[in-house]
Structure 1
Amino acid sequence: MKRLLSALAVTALTATSALAQTYAVTNGRVVTNTDAGIIEGGTVVIRDGDILAIGANVTVPAGATVIDADGGWVTPGIFAPYTQLGLIEVALESSTNDAGAGDSEYSVALDVADSFNPAGTHIPSTRIEGVTRAALYPSTGFNLFGGHGALVSMSGAADSLFETGSFVYADLSQSGAGTAGGSRSAAWTFLEAAFGDAAGFMGRFSAHHHGDALDRYDAAALVPVVRGQLPLVINVDRAADIRRAIRFRNEHPPVRMIIQGGAEAWMVADELAAAGIPVLMDPIRNLPGSFDSLGSTLAAASRLHDAGVTVAYTTETADGYFNARLLAQHAGNAVAHGVSWDDAFAAITLVPAQIYGVDTRYGALASGYAGDVVVWDGDPLEVMSAPTHVLIDGQETDMESRQTMLRDRYMDITDETPFAYRR
């Protein structure tokens, strides 16, 4: 018993020491994403995982680990609002792909949190590019619902999922229409029937396991969406489909809705702004990949911002399971096509946190916020800039990935084999 108590005491002391670690990031151009704006020559102090102090004249606590930004940029961590990180290792190898479940009898009730692998090899390569938080999305299966999404840190730790059951994802686009029976009319009718099943739960299922569209388990999982407790994320691109989504939201208060995709959202920007519906979109999407996205344009992001729509950027065109690391580049392209720097940077940091309701902890540098801090050697929206340090929850992370290890292993190898054997 004494040995057990001694071991517990040591464990508690070690945990307390880890939590008590203090960092001070000094001499930086600090982007706060708050009314404080950008602080030149600023310092950020992080203790116990949270930001303790920030400003131009902050005293560095004794014993703090000092990170000298050397005049570089210091920012909140990037928040990727639409990814499948940790759900897919190799997309074409089904045994490593847990994003969707096309053969399952369930849909709404599926939760990506049960499939997430914090040891996925794409997570470190994303983290070292300044991404500290992400939203995980399911793929759809046998009907237009994909299931529940989750929010995760890029720490790679076993407890990196910090919110589960964060939203429900549904596909009402061209592909969703095909799944529902061949037309958008079928897709919207299915969604209406599914909402009816959830609104009538439990009475509708008192004598039967199946409702009009969903079984008992899926209908129960949709209840929080119908009651406005969880947002419904709808994948649509076509302007006409977005208008239909707005009408659906208006006909089903208190439903909260998020538009994902939104290739033609700029065409209905005023309507989206009036409805208060946010949009997750890729600002470099400019090619008509389908008849749903004929209106794609590099000016889309600028037009949405100008109309007052809440916009967060994705890397949809670059793939969501390993290229979320390119998010800063996509935001930089938005700046090149008319978006202000402040709006573009907020669209990959603070705005995603606002959309998912976690903006009191993430997306900004202020006292009391989580210690997600990135130090850059230049403007983070410039393609040649890169992070030098990444802190997540107040802990400095390893700036190494499988790619960097391969680079270091093979970069300076001298081939001494006979010429005929060289390749």
Structure 2
Amino acid sequence: MRLKSLILGAALAALALPAAAQELTAITGGKILTGTSVIENGTVVIQNGRVVAVGVMAPPATARIIDATGKVVSPGFVAVDSGLGASEISSVGGSDDLRNSANSISASFDVSYGLDPWSFTLPVARLGGITRAVVVPAHPGGGGGGHAHDDSDFAGVSDGFQSPSLFAGQAAIIHLAQGNDILVKPRVAMVAPFGEAGAGVAGGARGAEFVQFKETLAEVRLYARNKAAYDRAGLRDLSLSRADLEALIPVANGEMPLIVTVRRAADIQQVLRLAREEGVKIILDGVEEGWLVADQIAAANVAVLLNPISNLPGNLETRAARMENAAALQAAGVTIAIKGNEGSIHRARETRYNAGNAVSHGLPYAAAIEAITVNPAKIFGMAGQVGELRPGAAADVVVWSGDPLEPLSIAEHIWINGQEQAPTSRQFLLRDRYKDGGEGAMPPAYTR
């Protein structure tokens, strides 16, 4: 009953919001971080879910005015390598839709079908300024929604198919607005582990995984050229199901990016070589030792998803991990996107803290803002649409009490697609319920 009342309270709060998507709203007087520039004492005008104007100007006479004098206005942040909306409690299997172990559904696993718009994790992340997220299936060695991943998977064949597969499934983009449909775009990238975790999947050795990966792509291309023969059982047996083969065709053709989790510098070099040989478009994830080969990553024009506070050599893959990794990669010309912590679910709100830590270790402030706004948008095909305050972009806007990279700053106003969001979460509802001993706060047998 109490849980139901908390959910109902959040729903009623959403219904009570006065701002509608079509309302003309002007945010005036603030320091505007557009994502690519800074405008002092500027104005952001939003209407019909879009940014209408940005600059130093008088607000429209008919607009609702939000006075942001002395405050900071930014685009909504974009969480990458996240499990938001697809995992409630990672240790409770029924609430975690990020992990799949069916050997016939691997590359074709579509995480978008498990999304929960009513997840308790979404409002918490939203209060951290996050308005969009790239939701990534969990896999050995990865960070997509899991707190601890088992790198000891073994290779084998079950029912004629790879078991487990090299591929974890397909990522999706969501927005964090209140409502019953958070999916923005499904199947935006494929996911696969390399390095130590990938070697575990392939049989124990890194070389085995690379050979298996190349053979898998060869099978996918063979299938794509001979679908009619496959339909009449006129093609040799293949190691993936039809669903997985179909899902991998865009990867083999270089159309769908492959998110590759890799940490060691030597493994990064080999993954870059593999991508070059196979014509595969990749996004590197993790990359703790990336600073050692930053020039090679930049030359390959490959983007990186990283956690800049990952600096402890927990194993031999991360011997050279250091807090200056983000700064070194950015200085070399690599497009970086900064991640949250522990799968970016319950701690997704810490994305901005991580960006601030990167600044304290050499990353320019403007580059840190880009790494949580325009860069993720560009990496995942949303450039100009989100992560930036510019005319025509989605009206994902946050008014901060101060510097958004400062932990004590709070999000005072949040808009997603032009709709203002209730500044609350389940934690706030619990606080309000119990702090003053309100109705139902204490069971009858207890005294205060």
**TM-score when normalising by structure 2:** 0.85
Q: Distance in 1 between matches of 2:118 and 2:213?
A: 36
1:169-211 Cα deviation digits (max 9, x unpaired)? 0011312211221111222122111111211123276226875
The residue aligned with 2:308 is 283
Q: Distance in 2 between matches of 1:220 and 1:187?
A: 21
Q: Distance in 2 between matches of 1:73 and 1:284?
A: 25
Matched, 1:200 2:225: no
Count the aligned residue pairs.
Answer: 400
1:351-396 Cα deviation digits (max 9, x unpaired)? 0001001012011111111100000000001111111000000110
Amino acid at match of 2:240: L
Name the SS of the counterpart of 1:267 in structure 2: helix
- Contact kept? 1:209, 1:215, Cα under 8 Å: no
Q: Distance in 2 between matches of 1:27 and 1:87?
A: 38
Give the unaligned 5+ runs of structure 1: 1-16
The alpha-carbon distance between structure 1 residues 324 and 59, as it changes in their structure 2 partners (threshold 3 A), is: same
- Contact kept? 1:197, 1:211, Cα under 8 Å: no
Matched, 1:32 2:34: yes
Name the SS of the counterpart of 2:330 in structure 1: helix
- Contact kept? 2:132, 2:173, Cα under 8 Å: yes
- Contact kept? 1:31, 1:38, Cα under 8 Å: yes
The residue aligned with 1:133 is 132
What is the CA-CA distance between 1:215 and the residue it aligns to?
2.1
Q: Distance in 2 between matches of 1:208 and 1:382?
A: 62
The residue aligned with 1:9 is none
Amino acid at match of 1:380: P
- Contact kept? 2:384, 2:390, Cα under 8 Å: no
What is the CA-CA distance between 1:144 and the residue it aligns to?
2.1
Name the SS of the counterpart of 2:327 in structure 1: helix
Matched, 1:269 2:294: yes
Matched, 1:247 2:273: yes
Give the unaligned 5+ runs of structure 2: 1-18, 141-163
Matched, 1:218 2:244: yes
The alpha-carbon distance between structure 1 residues 337 and 40, as it changes in their structure 2 partners (threshold 3 A), is: same
Match of 2:192 among 170, 186, 204: 170
- Contact kept? 1:190, 1:213, Cα under 8 Å: no
1:68-117 Cα deviation digits (max 9, x unpaired)? 11320000000111100111111111111110112452100011101111
Cα root mean square deviation, aligned: 2.1
What is the CA-CA distance between 1:59 and the residue it aligns to?
2.7
Q: Which moved more, 1:368-377 or 1:405-414?
A: 405-414
Q: Distance in 2 between matches of 1:123 and 1:208?
A: 49
- Contact kept? 2:21, 2:417, Cα under 8 Å: no
Matched, 1:349 2:348: no
Amino acid at match of 1:185: G
- Contact kept? 2:26, 2:59, Cα under 8 Å: no
Name the SS of the counterpart of 1:400 in structure 2: coil
Matched, 1:179 2:162: no
- Contact kept? 1:375, 1:389, Cα under 8 Å: yes
Amino acid at match of 1:273: A
The residue aligned with 2:322 is 297
The percentage of aligned residue pairs carrying the same residue is 37
Name the SS of the counterpart of 1:368 in structure 2: coil
**TM-score when normalising by structure 1:** 0.90
